Chain A
Amino acid sequence: EIVLTQSPGTLSLSPGERATLSCRASQSVSSTYLAWYQQKPGQPPRLLIYGASSRATGIPDRFSGSGSGTDFTLTISRLEPEDFAVYYCQQYGSSPYPFGQGTRLEIK
């Protein structure tokens, strides 16, 4: 069973800065099946990136995903106030479909 480990646990940055979030898998994951989600308090998750690097519908181009094998990255090029939230990676290529434990992006 694949385990996804996200780092850092919390990231403190200011609006306008660049954010780099990491997701490491315990075994190789096909990049076809790696997703990133954003969740704000009291809301359901929202899909940002699928297939490791494809942006979901309506997602701004400041969000980008990259990586392969066991190491994947979500980058937010210039943080907007609405980007401060919790971010999860997920493997969805085979059951079970684990999520990482999340990275909290907070305002510095």
Chain B
Amino acid sequence: EVQLVESGGGLVQPGGSLRLSCAASGFTFSSYWMHWVRQAPGKGLVWVSRINSDGSSTSYADSVKGRFTISRDNAKNTLYLQMNCLRAEDTAVYYCARGGEYSYDAFHIWGQGTMVTVSS
């Protein structure tokens, strides 16, 4: 079964850091671009970051650029999102999603999400 499982969410103070993980299974993880998408409570979907298949290329939404870092370990079939200098407005459910095989594609597979709350 093709599956993405996020972990690492929780409560963190403003200015703090958190690392999210996304464990992939059921497909050749190393072939696919991967994304992080977030959704603040009661709000819409916001794309956060993307990494290509071998990790050599990344891109970020302006709102997280310089604070968040996306990475992957293809040997462990795991995607990461390192989040630093967290702000209240980063509070959201964070989803990982599978993009295209070596290229652009829609997000066919999504994880269940992990909640990040930034509050003092």
The reply to whether B44 and A45 contact each other, CB–CB distance below 8 Å, is no
The reply to whether B59 and A96 contact each other, CB–CB distance below 8 Å, is yes
The reply to whether B112 and A97 contact each other, CB–CB distance below 8 Å, is no
Q: List 26 A-B contacts (CB under 8 A).
A: A37-B107, A44-B110, A45-B107, A46-B110, A47-B106, A47-B107, A50-B106, A51-B106, A88-B44, A92-B99, A92-B105, A92-B107, A94-B104, A95-B50, A96-B59, A96-B61, A96-B62, A97-B35, A97-B47, A97-B50, A98-B47, A99-B37, A99-B44, A99-B46, A99-B47, A102-B45
> What residues of chain A have their CB less than 8 Å away from a CB belonging to chain B?
33, 35, 37, 39, 44-47, 50-51, 56-57, 88, 90, 92-102
> What residues of chain B have their CB less than 8 Å away from a CB belonging to chain A?
35, 37, 44-47, 50, 59, 61-62, 95, 99, 104-108, 110-113
